[in-house]
Amino acid sequence: MTTLTLAKALNEGMRKAMEDDPKVLVMGEDVGKLGGVFRVTDGLQKDFGEQRVIDTPLAESGIIGTAIGLALRGYRPVCEIQFDGFVFPAADQIITQLAKMPLRSLGKLKLPVVVRIPCGGGIGAVEHHSESPEAYFTHTAGLRVVACSNPADGYTMIQQAIRCEDPVIFFEPKRRYWEKADVDTSAPADDWTPFDRARVVRPGADVTLLAYGPMVRTCLEAAAAAEEDGRSVEVVDLRSLNPLDIDLVAESVARTGRCAVVHEAPVFSGFGAEIAARLTERCFYNLEAPVLRVGGPSTPYPPSRLEDHYLPDLDRVLDAVDRLFAF
């Protein structure tokens, strides 16, 4: 076991992928000499050279378009979108080309492109730097969408994403970059949890909390607090948003009878709405209460001094737990 921050775990995962496959490239704004604004790619250009770790112009559409061309020539590009709010200029390439070209070619063309996106708030950033755009991409058929929440998953999931033959949108919770945990860097890949599978990170019997990315830790803290009131709360880290591991999720909710979905993004039309609908279909006769959603209000992300009022916290999650027991 090695103690790593999430940022370092992602760095080590990309390093291992680049060592294993010379076709793996890293590209993005300031990923080379600077090592990325969060230092996730620190040292990679020094060790692998400027031909494999490429500092690009500030042109997100160009980054993704170039990656598509490289993938068609047999490379495995790993693109960094510097901040979540910067992905929208690249949306045309992601939605109309990256997601559709494999089907357009009837499977003859593969696009093993990873698009890394630091996501979410909590770091006191300015406008366009604290977005949660996952629902845009889960709604886009042809993309895999995953979100790591801890260093161990960061290390394995980035490697699994790079090895995947499908395009992968890879969300990284930026306010968790500096949190540390033990990572087993020697475990064989066959022992890793598949990156399209959810995981129960805290067993419970009375309520299921579903979360991903930055909200997993918040839900774990809420579960620990609820235990003091005699409530047994299960926490499920979804990990993969598309495809969604609905079988594990439905099994948990059918067993506990109560569920809340927690994410930073606005509740209205957020990813939690899809989960709530699916669980209503699958678990209707097991539910003791409606599936609740906890998330941001339907407003643009606020200035940093107000973000603590915007982001779901322990109290808002516990309020949802109380409401679930009130039915």
CB 80 within 8 A of CB 31: yes
Q: Which residues pair with 79 in a beta bridge?
A: 27, 115
- The Cα–Cα gap between 54 and 218 comes to 35
- The Cα–Cα gap between 90 and 79 comes to 11
Of 38, 147, 149, the C-alpha closest to 83 is 38
- DSSP conformation class of 277: H
Catalytic residue at 129?
A: yes
Burial, 37: exposed, middle or buried (Cβ in 10 Å; 0-12, 13-18, 19+)?
middle
Q: Is the peptide bond before 243 cis (omega within 30 degrees of 0)?
A: yes
Annotated catalytic residue, options 128, 129, 139, 263: 129
Close Cβ partners of 210 (under 8 Å, ≥ 6 residues apart): 236, 238, 249, 259, 260, 261, 262, 272, 275
Catalytic residue list: 129
